[in-house]
Chain A
Amino acid sequence: MLGRSLLLFAILALLHAAFSTYEHFSHLKALGKPEGSLPRDIMFEAIIALAVGILGATLNAPPLKETTWSSEMKTRSIDEMDARPGFASYVNRGRNIS
C-alpha cells in the first residue's frame, strides 16, 4: 500500500517536473531568450521523484520466492516420486467385479 502510493506520487512529481520544464522553456522562447538553463527547483523535483520512485518500487515488489532445491523438494511427496507413470499397470481385478 505504502509502496504503491509512493510510486504514484513519484510518477506524478516526475510528470509535473516535465510539464514545468516544457512551460519554462516555452515561456523563455516567448520572451525571446531561448538559451536559459533549467531552474533549480524543477531539477530538485525530478531528483526527489527519482528517489521516492525507487523507494516505492522496492516496497511494492512481490514477496520473494524460494530458490533452493530443498524448498522445492519439500513440496513433493513420496507417492509422486514413486509413481513411475510410464510403467504403471492399469489392469486390476476390478474388471471381474463390475
Chain B
Amino acid sequence: MSLSSALETLANYRAHNTRASQDIVDKGKPLLNNAASKLGDDAWSFLEQLALAAIEIGDLDVADECLRQLGEKFPESPRVDILSGIRIEATERPEIALKFYDDLLEADSSNAAAYKRRISVLKRIGKIEQAVTELSEYLDTFYSDVEAWVELAELHSSCNQYTFALQALSHALLLAPQNPFYVLEFAETAYTANDIPLAIKMFMLAIDIADRHDSEESIPTGASVRAWYGVKLCCRSLSEKPSSPSASDTPFPKNLNLLDELATERVLTAYSAAGKEGAAGRELVLSWMGPSDRSGSRVHFVR
C-alpha cells in the first residue's frame, strides 16, 4: 500500500465520517512519528482521526502519542480537551468522564462538543431520560445542530416515543431540506409508528428530492431504492388494512394500485440493471414482490 494511496484513503474516511478503525490504525500507525512533515496541514486532523480510531480498537499507546503531539501543537485548544475527555472515557469510570466534561463546561459554557460528549456518555451508561433532557436543553441553545436533532430522534425512537421522534426529525428537515436521507428516516419512523399515509407521502418526497433531476429512464440507486421499497411496503399495508386512521390526519393516497405497480417496477429495475451484483438479490426480490395476496413475509427496516 503506497503512501499516497494510504493518505488518500485516510482523507476519504475523514470526509465521509467512516468508522473503519482497524484500517485507519493499520494505515496511520507508520505515519505517526513524522506526521507533520509528511502531511503538512492535514497532519492535525489526521492525528485526531488516528487517536479516535486507536481508542476504539483499544490501542491506547498510539492514542496517547497522538494526544501528546496534538497537545504540544495546540496547548489550550477545546478540541484537544474533548479528545482527552474521550481518552478518559475509554479507561476511567463514566462518572469521572462526566466530571471532566462538567469542568470543561464550567470553564467555557459555549463548548458545544462537551455537551455532546456528556450526552453520549449518559446514553452509553443507560441514563436515557437524563440524556434526552440534556439534549433538549442543548438544542434550545444550539438550534442549528442537525446531527443533534437526528440523535434526539433516535433516542426517542429507542424508547418507542415515535411522535417526539417525528417532531425532532421535522426540525432536522427544516435545517437540511435538500437531504433525502433525513426525509427517508422520517418516513421510516412514520411507518414504524403505523402512520402509513404520512409514511407513503414522505417516501415519495424522499424520491422526489433524491431523483429530482434524473430522466425517466434512469435506474434508481442508493436512497431511492430504499424509498421505493418503503412505498411498496406502504401500498401493501394500505391495501390490507384500508381503514386504519392516520395520526397526523394525512389524506390517503389515490391510485394505490398504480403506485404499487410503479414501486415494483422501480425496485426491480434497480436490481436488474446492476450486472452481477444486481442479479444475486433479484430472485429474492422478485419472489417477495409476488402477487399481493401473499401473506406472511414481512420485511422490517433495520437502521
Contacts and interface: CB of A to CB of B under 8 A. Distances in A.
Nearest to B113: A86
A73 B113 contact: no
Interface residues of B, number: 42
A85 B17 contact: yes
Interface stretch (B27-35, B37-45, B174-182, B235-243): B174-182
Contact of B90 (A73, A84, A87, A95): A95
A69 B178 contact: yes
Interface residues of A, number: 26
A89 B123 contact: yes
A70 B223 CA distance: 11
B120 interface: yes
B294 interface: no
A38 B112 CA distance: 71
A90 B86 contact: yes
Contact of B120 (A77, A88, A95): A88
A86 B212 contact: no
Contacts of A89: 120, 123-124
A70 B218 CA distance: 14
A94 B17 CA distance: 21
Return the 9 tightest CB-CB contacts between A and B, nearest first.
A83-B17, A69-B178, A81-B181, A86-B116, A80-B16, A84-B147, A87-B120, A90-B56, A90-B55
Given A78-B223, A87-B119, 9 more contacts: A69-B209, A69-B212, A70-B214, A81-B181, A83-B17, A87-B120, A88-B120, A89-B123, A90-B86
20 contacts: A70-B209, A70-B214, A71-B213, A73-B179, A73-B209, A73-B210, A74-B221, A81-B181, A82-B181, A83-B18, A87-B119, A87-B151, A88-B19, A88-B52, A90-B52, A90-B55, A90-B86, A90-B89, A95-B58, A95-B90
Interface of B: 16-19, 52, 55-58, 86, 89-91, 112-113, 116-117, 119-120, 123-124, 147-148, 150-151, 178-182, 184, 209-214, 221-223, 226, 303
